[in-house]
């Protein structure tokens, strides 16, 4: 069951990562009023989780992965000359968040593949469990 | 192999409780209330907890589908696997019980 539990944490994290990517892409064209801080691209930070963090079992047990936090990225905002836009500043520039489109798409593919890999690992663990139940059956 | 040999009486009681048909072996259960039958009961209780958890997940998902789907399917799968394990334990124990009952004295 432990292997399945680990895969489940992987699924949780990748699901969360996809939500962050979706949020970034959805806000790629959110302009901000001059003088206010607009949307900033978010980045999910994840890392290993050990079971003894949760107080379970001895040290060295594997606990999967966990989300450490969702941090705004340091990417500089994009400034576009659009004098007609209501959000334009005095010089006619509109500020858009610095969402890296290509990077987000790449990350999305990676996330999707990682999710699938976790599902495959979980199914393998399940098959092994079922095989173990077959041990000595029908004798 | 050794499970029926250790404590047939408590094994029988465990099966009876497992199946919910405590017809004859009630005194035997009180006599041999060792760790074996309590272990069995713990196992059944754990299966029951997993079932209840899966049920709660499905219910929560039906009300609010913002929780990830894989958590629902995972809970269902886990409940199914532990039920499968319980069925295996049950059938092995019944097998052992029947072998002992068919023993020539």
Domain residue extents for chain B: 3-101
The CA distance from B50 to A4, in Å, is: 14
Q: pLDDT digits over B24-40, tens only?
A: 444 444 444 568 888 88
- Given an 8 Å threshold on Cβ–Cβ distance, is B70 in contact with A8? yes
* pLDDT score for A74: 87
- Average the pLDDT over B58-83 and give the result: 92
In this prediction, residue A128 carries a pLDDT of 94
Which residues does chain A have with pLDDT short of 50? none
pLDDT digits (tens, 9 = 90+) for A43-70: 999 999 876 555 555 556 788 999 999 9
- Our CA-based measurement puts residue A88 at a distance from the nearest CA of chain B, in whole angstroms, of 36
* A8–B84 CB contact, under 8 Å: no
The answer to whether A130 contacts B71, with C-beta atoms less than 8 Å apart, is no
With 0-12 / 13-18 / 19 or more C-beta atoms within 10 angstroms meaning exposed / middle / buried, residue B94 is middle
Chain B CB contacts of A119 below 8 Å: 70
Q: Residue B3: which pLDDT band, with cuts at 50, 70 and 90?
A: very low
Banded model confidence at residue B72, pLDDT cuts 50, 70, 90: very high
Q: Is the pLDDT of residue B46 over 70?
A: yes
Burial-class residue A112 by CB neighbours within 10 Å (0-12, 13-18, 19+). middle
Q: Contact, A73 vs A41, CB < 8 A? A: yes
> Would you kindly state where each structural domain of chain A is located, as residue ranges?
2-133
User: In this prediction, does ipTM exceed 0.85?
Assistant: no
Confidence of residue B13 (pLDDT cuts 50, 70, 90): low
**Inter-chain touch B81–A137, beta carbons under 8 Å:** no
Q: A122 to chain B: which residues are within 8 Å by CB?
A: 74
Does pTM surpass 0.90? no
Tell me which DSSP letter residue A36 carries.
S
- The answer to whether residues A63 and A24 touch, using CB atoms and an 8 Å cutoff, is no
pLDDT at A50 (0 to 100) = 77
* Tokens found for residue B11: 């094994």
Res. B8: pLDDT tops 70: no
């Amino acid at each position: 069951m432990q292997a399945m539990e680990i895969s489940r944490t992987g699924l949780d994290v990748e699901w969360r990562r996809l939500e962050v990517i979706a949020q970034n892409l959805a806000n790629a064209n959110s302009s901000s009023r001059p003088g206010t801080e607009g949307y900033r691209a978010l980045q999910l930070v994840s890392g290993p989780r050990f079971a003894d963090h949760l107080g379970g079992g001895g040290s060295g047990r594997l606990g999967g992965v966990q989300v450490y936090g969702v941090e705004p990225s340091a990417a500089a905002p994009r400034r576009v000359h659009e004098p007609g836009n209501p959000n334009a500043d005095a010089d006619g520039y509109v500020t858009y968040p610095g969402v890296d489109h290509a990077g987000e798409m790449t990350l999305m593919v990676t996330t999707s593949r990682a999710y699938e890999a976790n599902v495959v690992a979980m199914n393998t663990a399940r098959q092994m469990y079922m095989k173990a139940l077959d041990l000595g059956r029908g004798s | 192999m050794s499970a029926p040999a250790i404590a047939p009486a408590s094994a029988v009681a465990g099966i009876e409780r497992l199946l919910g048909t405590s017809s004859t072996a009630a005194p035997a259960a009180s006599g041999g209330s060792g760790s074996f039958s309590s272990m069995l009961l713990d196992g059944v209780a754990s299966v029951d907890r997993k079932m209840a958890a899966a049920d709660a997940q499905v219910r929560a998902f039906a009300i609010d589908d913002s929780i990830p789907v894989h958590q629902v399917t995972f809970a269902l799968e886990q409940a199914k696997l532990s039920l499968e394990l319980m069925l295996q334990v049950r059938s092995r124990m019944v097998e052992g019980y029947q072998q002992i009952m068919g023993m020539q004295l």
